[in-house]
Structure 1
Amino acid sequence: MTGSVVFDPILPWAVIWTLAALGAVMVAFALWRGLSGWWLRGLALGVLLVALANPALQEEDRAPLSDIVIAVVDESASQRISDRQAQSAAALAAVEAEIRALPDTELRVVRVGDGEGDEGSLVMTALAESLAEEPRARIAGAILITDGQVHDLELAPQMPAPLHVLLTGHEEDWDRRLVIRNAPAFAILGEPVSLVLRIEDQGRVPASAGTSADLTISIDGGEPQTVRVPVGEDLELPVTLPHGGMNVLQFQVAASPDELTDRNNSAVVQINGVRDRLRVLLVSGEPHAGERVWRNLLKSDASVDLVHFTILRPPEKQDGIPVSELSLIAFPTRELFVEKIEEFDLIIFDRYRLRGILPTSYLENVRDYVRNGGTVLVAAGPEFGSADSLWRSPLADVMPVQATSRVTEGGFRPTLTDVGRKHPVTQGLEAQAPEGGWGRWFRQIELSATSGQVVMNGAGDRPLLVLDRVDEGRIAVLASDQIWLWGRGYEGGGPQLELLRRLAHWMMKEPDLEEEALIAAGEGARMTITRRTIGEDPGEVTITGPDGAETTLSMQETAPGRWSVVWEAPEMGVYRLAQGEQRAVIAVGPSAPREFEETIASGDRLAPVIGPTNGGTLRLEEGAPDIRAVREGRVAAGRGWIGITPRGAHVTQDVRVAALLPGWLYLLLAASLALGAWLREGRFGRRA
Structure 2
Amino acid sequence: MSQSLVFDPLVAWPLIWALTGLAVVLVAVALWRGLPGWALRGVALALVIAALAGPVLQEEEQAPLSDIVILVVDESASQKLGDRPDQTARAVARIEAEVAALPDTELRVVTVGDGPDNAGTLAMTALAEAMAAEPRARLAGAILVTDGQVHDMALTPDLPAPLHVLLTGRSSDWDRRLTIKDAPAFAILGEEVRLKLRVDDEGAVPPGFGQEAEVEIAVDDAPPQTYLVPVGSDLDVPVMLQHGGMNVLRFSVAPADGEITDRNNSAIVQINGVRDRLRVLLVSGEPHAGERVWRNLLKSDASVDLVHFTILRPPEKQDGIPVDELSLIAFPTRELFVEKIKEFDLIIFDRYRMRGILPMSYLQNVADYVKEGGTVLVASGPEFGAVDSLWRSPLAEVLPVEPTARVIEEGFRPAVTDLGHRHPVTEGLEDLAPEGGWGRWFRMVEVNPLEGEVLMTGPDERPLLVVNRVGEGRVAVLASDHAWLWGRGYEGGGPQLELLRRLAHWMLKEPELEEEALTATANGQVLTITRRTIEEEPPGPVTVTGPDGAIVSLDMAAETPGRYSVDWQAPQIGLYRLEQGDLTRVVAVGPAAPKEFEQALASPDLVAPAVEARRGGVLSIEDGLPDVRQVGEGRAAAGRGWIGVTPRGAALTEDLSVAPLLPAWVWLVLAALFAVAAWLVEGRRGTPRRA
TM-score of the two chains, using structure 2 as the length reference: 0.97
Q: What pairs up with 1:489-568 in 2 under 5 angstroms?
A: 489-535=489-535, 536-568=537-569
Report the CA distance shift for 1:269/1:304 in structure 2 as closer, same or farther (over 3 A): same
Q: CA RMSD in A?
A: 1.5
Q: Distance in 2 between matches of 1:685 and 1:485?
A: 131
Q: Distance in 2 between matches of 1:231 and 1:326?
A: 70
Q: What pairs up with 1:622-633 in 2 under 5 angstroms?
A: 622-633=623-634
Correspondence for 1:656: 657
Deviations 1:646-681 (A, max 9, x none): 111111111112211111111111111111111111
Given that residues 35 and 687 in structure 2 are in contact (C-alpha distance below 8 angstroms), is that contact kept between their aligned partners in structure 1? no
Residue 420 (1) aligns with residue 420 (2): yes
- For structure 2, the residue ranges without an aligned partner over 5 or more in a row are none
Q: Distance in 2 between matches of 1:677 and 1:435?
A: 113
| Greater shift in the superposed pair: 521-530 or 658-667 | 658-667
SS in 1 for 2:282: strand
SS in 2 for 1:430: helix
Q: Distance in 2 between matches of 1:446 and 1:139?
A: 89
Q: How many residues align?
A: 687
Correspondence for 1:645: 646
Q: What pairs up with 1:556-595 in 2 under 5 angstroms?
A: 556-595=557-596
Deviations 1:577-615 (A, max 9, x none): 111111111111111121111111111211110012221
Residue 325 of structure 1: how far off its partner (Å): 4.1
Letter in 2 for 1:515: E
Residue 558 of structure 1: how far off its partner (Å): 0.3
Deviations 1:35-71 (A, max 9, x none): 1111111111121122112212221111111110000
Correspondence for 2:603: 602
SS in 1 for 2:410: strand
Q: What pairs up with 1:394-413 in 2 under 5 angstroms?
A: 394-413=394-413
Residue 313 of structure 1: how far off its partner (Å): 2.4
| Greater shift in the superposed pair: 497-506 or 310-319 | 310-319
Q: Distance in 1 between matches of 2:365 and 2:240?
A: 28
Q: Distance in 1 between matches of 2:668 and 2:413?
A: 117
SS in 2 for 1:436: coil
Deviations 1:422-472 (A, max 9, x none): 111111111112233222222222212222111111122121111111111
| Greater shift in the superposed pair: 482-491 or 214-223 | 482-491
Residue 327 of structure 1: how far off its partner (Å): 4.9
Q: Distance in 1 between matches of 2:111 and 2:423?
A: 52
Residue 71 (1) aligns with residue 71 (2): yes
Q: Distance in 2 between matches of 1:280 and 1:649?
A: 83
Correspondence for 1:30: 30
SS in 2 for 1:552: strand
Correspondence for 1:293: 293
SS in 2 for 1:226: strand
Q: Distance in 1 between matches of 2:50 and 2:456?
A: 107
Q: What pairs up with 1:187-266 in 2 under 5 angstroms?
A: 187-266=187-266
Given that residues 280 and 345 in structure 1 are in contact (C-alpha distance below 8 angstroms), is that contact kept between their aligned partners in structure 2? yes
| Greater shift in the superposed pair: 125-134 or 14-23 | 14-23
Letter in 2 for 1:539: G
Q: Distance in 1 between matches of 2:25 and 2:531?
A: 100
Report the CA distance shift for 1:375/1:686 in structure 2 as closer, same or farther (over 3 A): closer
Residue 686 of structure 1: how far off its partner (Å): 8.3
Q: Distance in 1 between matches of 2:674 and 2:630?
A: 55
Residue 123 of structure 1: how far off its partner (Å): 0.5
Correspondence for 1:678: 679
Correspondence for 1:276: 276
Letter in 2 for 1:605: L
Residue 512 of structure 1: how far off its partner (Å): 1.4
Correspondence for 2:97: 97
Report the CA distance shift for 1:168/1:253 in structure 2 as closer, same or farther (over 3 A): same
Correspondence for 1:616: 617
Letter in 2 for 1:532: R
Q: Distance in 2 between matches of 1:450 and 1:69?
A: 83
Residue 490 of structure 1: how far off its partner (Å): 2.3
Residue 112 of structure 1: how far off its partner (Å): 0.7
Given that residues 630 and 646 in structure 1 are in contact (C-alpha distance below 8 angstroms), is that contact kept between their aligned partners in structure 2? yes
Letter in 2 for 1:437: G
Deviations 1:189-225 (A, max 9, x none): 2222221111122222222332111111111222211
Residue 561 of structure 1: how far off its partner (Å): 0.7
Q: Distance in 1 between matches of 2:18 and 2:341?
A: 108
Q: Distance in 2 between matches of 1:21 and 1:412?
A: 110
SS in 1 for 2:467: strand
Q: Distance in 2 between matches of 1:142 and 1:613?
A: 10
Q: What pairs up with 1:172-183 in 2 under 5 angstroms?
A: 172-183=172-183
| Greater shift in the superposed pair: 184-193 or 402-411 | 402-411
SS in 2 for 1:682: helix
Letter in 2 for 1:133: A
| Greater shift in the superposed pair: 526-535 or 441-450 | 441-450
Q: Distance in 1 between matches of 2:687 and 2:475?
A: 140
Letter in 2 for 1:113: G
SS in 2 for 1:58: strand
Letter in 1 for 2:376: V
Deviations 1:67-121 (A, max 9, x none): 1000001111211222222221221112111111222111101111111102111
SS in 1 for 2:411: strand
TM-score of the two chains, using structure 1 as the length reference: 0.97
Q: Distance in 2 between matches of 1:423 and 1:336?
A: 32
Residue 404 of structure 1: how far off its partner (Å): 2.2
Q: Distance in 2 between matches of 1:325 and 1:497?
A: 39
Q: What pairs up with 1:331-346 in 2 under 5 angstroms?
A: 331-346=331-346
- For structure 1, the residue ranges without an aligned partner over 5 or more in a row are none
Q: What pairs up with 1:359-398 in 2 under 5 angstroms?
A: 359-398=359-398
Deviations 1:473-493 (A, max 9, x none): 111011111212222222222
Given that residues 221 and 576 in structure 1 are in contact (C-alpha distance below 8 angstroms), is that contact kept between their aligned partners in structure 2? no
Report the CA distance shift for 1:489/1:31 in structure 2 as closer, same or farther (over 3 A): closer
Sequence identity (%): 68
Correspondence for 1:433: 433
Deviations 1:384-405 (A, max 9, x none): 2222221121111211122222
Q: Distance in 2 between matches of 1:331 and 1:498?
A: 31
Correspondence for 2:635: 634
SS in 2 for 1:447: strand
Q: Distance in 1 between matches of 2:143 and 2:382?
A: 87
List structure 1 segments (4+ residues) > 6 angstroms apart after TM superposition: none
Deviations 1:332-382 (A, max 9, x none): 111101111111110001111122111111111111111111110011122
SS in 2 for 1:421: helix
SS in 2 for 1:237: strand
SS in 1 for 2:235: strand
